[in-house]
Amino acid sequence: MVSQETLPKKGVIMVMLDTLMDKPFQQALEQEDLSVLPYFMDRGEYYPRVVAPYPTMSVNVESTLLTGHYPDQHRVPALAWFNQKENRLINYGTHVLEMRKLGLSTCLYDSFYRLNQEHLSSDVKTIHEELADQGLTSASINPLMHKGNVPTTITVPSLIRLFVSLEKNIEISAADKFVYGRLANLSPLKKYSRLWNKYGFNNKFSIQEFSHLVKNDTIPDFSFVYLPDHDKNVHKRGPMDTKGIKDMDKQLKPLMDAFPSWEEALKNYIWIIIGDNGQSGVQKDKNKALVDIRKLLQPLKITKLRKGVQNDDQVVVASNLRSCFIYTLKPDEVPVTEIAEKLQTDSRVEMAAWKSEGWIHVIKGECNETFTFKEGGSMKDEYKQTWEIDGDHSLLDLSITENVIEFGDYPDALKRLHSALHSHEGEFVVTSVKPGHEFISESTPKHPNGASHGGFHKNDSFIPMLVTGTDAAPDFLRIVDLKKWILNLIQSA
């Protein structure tokens, strides 16, 4: 770990730019007329390959960042997953059609309340909670994950309440300074928070709200500012889209201008500019690009979204774009090995894994080889985690030299896969498709000739991070390691 030489005078400001990726970012720096991001690049340390948790979905990424734990500990598996205790599919917002079939009121309440207050494990603490315990303050500006110690209220807009059965006011615990679109805001300004602005869940509203703190000199010890818009650009136009990066750079300018000067902004605060997940390009030909999980699982009976689990259902599918959880409802009748064997028939399946008797079992499409592993043992990876392995380790693109494991196309493959399979209860397979492809099931979004995420591959898993104001670095370049680093920076101020 690099020793700390430059310490913050006031606090840490983290700005998460949804779907920021290294290659298009570098291209934008060369080809686009940018001002703010080059200013940071010229004065900071750039880390192009920080590892995101798996599945690479926003709620999992943010939960891992804020708690410093993988999903086996924080218990938020992905954007969509099956809750065995409640016998229902949880969906925090993959697509409005899926949410309507599952019940819009239920899905919105899951997102507005249960996600942070119930589903995120109370056995781990977020950065907001840790700082509050120390008498320090924090801000959460528009991320999905925001659990803290401060009682607050989110107010559901009246137009939304015309269509769903939700109370006007929902009591939650969040950060000291809390923004959640129009449902909870700081600034008196209503701009960028109308229905057509997604009720404030957009970049300009995030910038407006944090700028309010800047102008009123009320920036806390830690601020987490989330800019969500670029995700949809990349989904539509592909992973090398730079227009969205140019837009974000332009939107960051009024935030920087809210400080007395850009120099003062960087002098008085540590800044962390970071992505959340990468995306892989999806082929143009729908027949090749889209992997219909329903066809692969035939003739098994899959739970319908609108009906919920029925007595004769055999499996539940929770699709997360390029990854999927597949649950057996009748393990004696349909063991997870049968699900895995069906996935193995398609060459587009990059990986399928399940747990059994303490071991993780891994296969891939149109390959007869298998690989198993478990925690502990004589093998040590580059993150100082130890493993016992057996079988064909090339399935996860591992390189092994004198009992030292190095990762290739699947960064931190063993721990990320292990954590995904221990993130919640149930007997299930987790699977991902190769770059160029995307899973589809009932009413899921499709992105042919665009891009998608959620996958296990490094395209989905590596994100860039740009840091100014400190020479200190995390122990390892993984999102799971950032909480400890951020707290150390703040406590050293």
Which tens digit of pLDDT belongs to each residue from 197-224?
999 999 999 999 999 999 999 999 999 9
Average pLDDT over residues 346-357: 98
pTM above 0.85, yes or no: yes
By the 10 Å C-beta count (0-12 exposed, 13-18 middle, 19+ buried), 186 is classed as middle
CB 75 within 8 A of CB 84: no
Provide the residue ranges of all domains of the chain, joining segments of one domain with +.
11-68+120-279+458-491, 286-449
The string of DSSP letters for 276-313 reads S---EEB-S-HHHHEEEHHHHTTTSPBPPTTT---TT-
Distances (CA, A) of 36 to 196, 251, 348, 468: 27, 9, 40, 13
Q: What is the DSSP letter of 202?
A: S
Fold of 11-68+120-279+458-491: Alkaline Phosphatase, subunit A (3.40.720)
260 versus 96: the higher-pLDDT residue is 260
Average pLDDT over residues 322-344: 98
CB 458 within 8 A of CB 397: no
Residue 1 has pLDDT above 50, yes or no: no
CB 132 within 8 A of CB 150: yes
Q: At what angle do helices 243-257 and 203-215 cross, to 10 degrees?
A: 20
Interatomic CA distance for residues 229 and 215, integer angstroms:
24
Residue 86 has pLDDT above 50, yes or no: yes
- Structure confidence at residue 95 as a pLDDT band (50, 70, 90): confident
Residue 4 has pLDDT above 80, yes or no: no
CB 309 within 8 A of CB 51: no
The predicted structure's pLDDT at residue 415: 98
Residue that is written with structure tokens 């720096």 in the block? 29
DSSP bridge pairs for 14 = 224, 272
CB 53 within 8 A of CB 60: yes
Residue type, 414: L
CB 270 within 8 A of CB 12: yes
Average pLDDT over residues 77-83: 98
The predicted structure's pLDDT at residue 492: 85
The SS3 assignment for 427 reads coil
Residue 253 has pLDDT above 50, yes or no: yes
Residue 337 has pLDDT above 90, yes or no: yes
The alpha carbon of 182 is separated from its chain's Cα centroid by a whole number of angstroms, namely: 22
The predicted structure's pLDDT at residue 302: 98
Q: At what angle do helices 58-67 and 482-491 cross, to 10 degrees?
A: 40
Distances (CA, A) of 178 to 154, 201, 442: 10, 13, 35
The predicted structure's pLDDT at residue 96: 87
Average pLDDT over residues 94-116: 94
Residues 6+ away with beta carbon under 8 Å from 194? none
In degrees, to the nearest 5, what angle opens at C-alpha 323 toward C-alphas 319 and 328? 60
Interatomic CA distance for residues 10 and 271, integer angstroms:
11
CA atoms within 13 A on the CB side of 311: 0
The predicted structure's pLDDT at residue 7: 41
Interatomic CA distance for residues 67 and 173, integer angstroms:
15
The predicted structure's pLDDT at residue 157: 95
For residue 302, give the nearest of 321, 326, 324 by alpha carbon. 326
Q: What is the DSSP letter of 445?
A: -
Residue 483 has pLDDT above 70, yes or no: yes
The predicted structure's pLDDT at residue 9: 54
- Structure confidence at residue 2 as a pLDDT band (50, 70, 90): very low
Average pLDDT over residues 306-328: 98
Residue 136 has pLDDT above 80, yes or no: yes
Residue type, 187: S
CA dihedral of residues 28, 32, 36, 39 (deg, nearest 10): 80
The predicted structure's pLDDT at residue 422: 98
Which tens digit of pLDDT belongs to each residue from 409-442?
999 999 999 999 999 999 999 999 999 999 999 9
Average pLDDT over residues 12-34: 97
CB 462 within 8 A of CB 456: no
